Amino acid sequence: MEKYLYIALFAPLLGSLTAALFGARPKTLFTGLWTSGLLAVSWISSILLFLHVYADPSANVVHVKMMDWISAGNLSIPFGFVVDQVSVTMMIVVTTVSTMVHVYAIGYMSHDKGFNRFFSWLSAFVFSMMILVMSDNFAGLFIGWEGVGLCSWGLIGFWYHKQSATWAANEAFIMNRIADLGMLIGIFLIYWNTGTLQYNEAFAAMPNLEHTLLITIGSFLFVGAMGKSAQFPLHTWLADAMEGPTPVSALIHAATMVTAGVYLVIRANPLYDLIPEVGYVIASLGAFVAMFAATMALVNRDIKRIIAYSTLSQLGYMFVAAGLGAYWVALFHLMTHAFFKALLFLGAGNVMHAMDDELDPFKMGGLYKVMKPTAILMILASVALAGIYPFAGFFSKDKILEVAFNGDHYILWGVLWVTAGLTAFYSFRLIMLTFFGDERYKKLGFHPHEAYPYMLWAMAPLAVLAAIAGFFEHAFVDFVTTLLPSYEFHTHHVEMILIAVTSTIAILGIATAVIIYKNGMLHPKWMERPCYKLFTNQYYIPQFYDAVFSKPYKELSIIFWKQIDMKIVDATVDLIANTFFNIGKDTRGVQSGNLSIMLRWMALGVTMLLTFGLIFVAAATLLG
């Protein structure tokens, strides 16, 4: 079984390295097929591992220690990997979505010059993500964490000659770095107080630590999760990350990287169980983000950004669940969300390709006639997102709302409930504007066509999973709660009412969207309302960050450069160099070629010798 672990882990790396060899050459189809093939191998290994662990969850956990990494004094950090219920779930999600995205990207990037480089980065990303979820200690987690950050940077800024893309890549990386500082502090605190970074040992030692320390550790670790999962206030990078190619958005910013934060909280559940107040803060923040992102998605004029805000919103949902202690619910929603969100992104990619990379849905419309399969898949995904029975989103989202209600957190429940309605509304706003209504694109001269068939076949498994994953809820719960704590629901009597209420608002949202956007655009007078302006400009937060953080920092950097670096550091080094230079220049006169001057130097030498002689002799006679 261990060989499957290594295969699952290293197959993407092998694909990435071989594709990297072709990085500078023009497109070779081989790289796409090879990396997709290796990812399929990794996928099959993950499934085999899953079946193995599923057969006997408590006994069949696969735990390997590949080699020692750091062994210095008391600090011992190995490269160790564990395949337990949580990590195998994540592995299945990651490899499934990655394989589908790889196959899709063969078609999507087929006309791109950086084809080979793309697959190298993409497989490297999957490798880092696998390290992240399979590692059995915090250091390995951090390695994977940084690896996905790096690959995300490379992929967002994939079209590096575009200024906006490189800016977005840097923004994502720097924001993640800021959050990683928090996470590092958390990891340091864990090591300092428990003496180990292995999950099982650290968590076993945690109940003995004092409470404020645990709160500190939990908060710092969550800061790291905030960066990766783009919670407020470190959320601006996610929308800007849409500068990358669409398969990247589908893989990284829907299914895998942004869920790393949720994974961290789920993995550290023994810690968060001890500090429920921090959990409550996490949940509140999650609920706020859910609502916050949904409002921004309501008015956006960029299909990828709408879906990005939707991801942000759903991440908020996951954090609500994780914060309130219902870890398996968060994991379940993570899984279902990965499927239908990736599907949504891939569909948006099809639309973009058809419309020559146009992103404004107001310039589309009526594409249903031309792109039926894509439209159907996207409608399926949107319905799943909205949480309508029998699709997967219904099961997971409803569970989260139940969790909120269960703990008597009625405000949280209310916020999430309204957000569910908003989610349904904006998802179908997108669908209606893109696929139905007037065919605005004809006036603008676009000639859309459907995507390649194999791309549609790559999207199909995701659609199937988005449709049926919900029915595996019971099996999933039984499987995962052998590791994670199970959550007691006290709301069985009101369960059906809650489901009814939630479904009602979702259907209301869908209906509203269909009616408003059936015939095209919104009334222009809406656009002058202040709240519209607020939403469209993302609550003016990017401008705020720019004015408060970026500009002063830039000024500070300029001061450091001009005043300190140039005037002090450079001046000192130059001073040393100039001193030597001037010494040389001044003593050059000794050898002037002028006999008179040389005779003077000679006389000076004689003087000095005589002086020394005199002193020496006098000293000798006086002392000796």
Partner 1 sequence: MFETVAFYLFSVLTITSFVVVVTTKNALYALSSLAAGMILISGFFFLLNADFLGVVQIVVYTGAVMALYAFGMMFFDTTETLRESHANPRVVFVLSGMIAIILVVMLIAPIASTHVSALYPMVEGVGNSEAVGMVLFTKYLIPFEVAAVMLLVAMIGGIVLAGKKMDESLTTSEQGDVK
Partner 2 sequence: MITLNHYLVLSGLLFSIGLVGVIKRKNLLMLFFATEIMLNAVNVGFAAISNHYGDLSGQMFAFFIIAIAASEVAVGLGLLILMYKRKSSVDLDTLTTMKG
Spell out the residues 6+ positions from residue 546 whose beta carbon is closer than 8 angstroms to its own.
none
Number of residues that bind partner 1 (CB under 8 A): 10
CA dist 281 and 284 (Å) reads 5
Contact (Cβ atoms closer than 8 angstroms) between residue 339 and residue 391: no
Contact (Cβ atoms closer than 8 angstroms) between residue 240 and residue 152: no
Does 611 interact with partner 1 (rule: CB under 8 A)?
yes
Backbone angles phi, psi at 535, to 5 degrees: -70, -40
Contact (Cβ atoms closer than 8 angstroms) between residue 23 and residue 116: yes
| Binding partner selected for residue 614 from partner 1, partner 2, none, CB under the kind-specific 5 to 8 Å limit | partner 1
CA dist 240 and 168 (Å) reads 5
Q: Which stretch binds partner 1 (CB under 8 A): 2-10, 191-199, 313-321, 613-621?
A: 613-621
Spell out the residues 6+ positions from residue 69 whose beta carbon is closer than 8 angstroms to its own.
77, 78, 79, 139
Question: Cβ of residue 551: shortest distance to partner 1, in angstroms?
Answer: 59
CA dist 381 and 312 (Å) reads 16
| Binding partner selected for residue 589 from partner 1, partner 2, none, CB under the kind-specific 5 to 8 Å limit | partner 2
The smaller minimum CB distance to partner 2, of residues 548 and 603, is found at: 603
Question: Cβ of residue 589: shortest distance to partner 1, in angstroms?
Answer: 11
| Binding partner selected for residue 564 from partner 2, partner 1, none, CB under the kind-specific 5 to 8 Å limit | none
Contact (Cβ atoms closer than 8 angstroms) between residue 315 and residue 239: no
Does 614 interact with partner 1 (rule: CB under 8 A)?
yes
The smaller minimum CB distance to partner 1, of residues 6 and 601, is found at: 601
Dihedral angle over CA of 389, 308, 130, 478, nearest 10: -20
Residue of the chain from 610, 616, 620, 622 that contacts partner 1 (CB under 8 A): 610
Which of 311, 277, 279 lies closest to 292 in space, CA to CA?
311
The smaller minimum CB distance to partner 1, of residues 544 and 601, is found at: 601
| Binding partner selected for residue 599 from partner 2, partner 1, none, CB under the kind-specific 5 to 8 Å limit | partner 2
Helix (H, G, I), strand (E, B) or coil at 23: coil
Contact (Cβ atoms closer than 8 angstroms) between residue 435 and residue 368: yes
Does 475 interact with partner 1 (rule: CB under 8 A)?
no
CA dist 148 and 21 (Å) reads 21
The smaller minimum CB distance to partner 1, of residues 553 and 612, is found at: 612
Backbone angles phi, psi at 67, to 5 degrees: -165, 165
Which of 198, 187, 186, 166 lies closest to 68 in space, CA to CA?
198
Spell out the residues 6+ positions from residue 348 whose beta carbon is closer than 8 angstroms to its own.
246, 303, 304, 307, 378
CA dist 95 and 405 (Å) reads 34
Question: Cβ of residue 597: shortest distance to partner 1, in angstroms?
Answer: 8
Residue of the chain from 369, 607, 616, 619 that contacts partner 1 (CB under 8 A): 607
What's the number of CA atoms in the CB half-sphere (13 Å) around residue 517?
A: 26
Residue of the chain from 70, 75, 569, 617 that contacts partner 1 (CB under 8 A): 617
The smaller minimum CB distance to partner 1, of residues 576 and 610, is found at: 610
Question: Cβ of residue 583: shortest distance to partner 1, in angstroms?
Answer: 21
Question: Cβ of residue 590: shortest distance to partner 1, in angstroms?
Answer: 14
The smaller minimum CB distance to partner 1, of residues 164 and 611, is found at: 611
The smaller minimum CB distance to partner 1, of residues 578 and 607, is found at: 607
Question: Cβ of residue 623: shortest distance to partner 2, in angstroms?
Answer: 24
Residue of the chain from 581, 613, 616, 619 that contacts partner 1 (CB under 8 A): 613
| Binding partner selected for residue 588 from partner 1, partner 2, none, CB under the kind-specific 5 to 8 Å limit | partner 2
- Within 570-609, the residues that bind partner 2 by CB under 8 A are 588-589, 591-596, 599-600, 603, 606
The smaller minimum CB distance to partner 1, of residues 568 and 610, is found at: 610
| Binding partner selected for residue 492 from partner 1, partner 2, none, CB under the kind-specific 5 to 8 Å limit | none
Does 590 interact with partner 1 (rule: CB under 8 A)?
no
Question: Cβ of residue 603: shortest distance to partner 2, in angstroms?
Answer: 5
The smaller minimum CB distance to partner 1, of residues 181 and 619, is found at: 619
Q: Which stretch binds partner 1 (CB under 8 A): 84-92, 348-356, 452-460, 604-612?
A: 604-612
Backbone angles phi, psi at 447, to 5 degrees: -130, 80
Long-range pairs for 141-144: beta carbons < 8 A, 24 or more residues apart: 141/264, 141/267, 142/180, 142/183, 142/184, 142/187, 144/260
Residue of the chain from 604, 616, 622, 623 that contacts partner 1 (CB under 8 A): 604
Number of residues that bind partner 2 (CB under 8 A): 12
The smaller minimum CB distance to partner 1, of residues 58 and 607, is found at: 607
Output b/e per residue, 314-328; b: 16+ Cβ within 10 A. Answer: bbbbbbbbbbbbbbb
Residues near partner 1 (CB under 8 A): 600, 603-604, 606-607, 610-611, 613-614, 617
Residues that bind partner 2 (CB under 8 A): 588-589, 591-596, 599-600, 603, 606
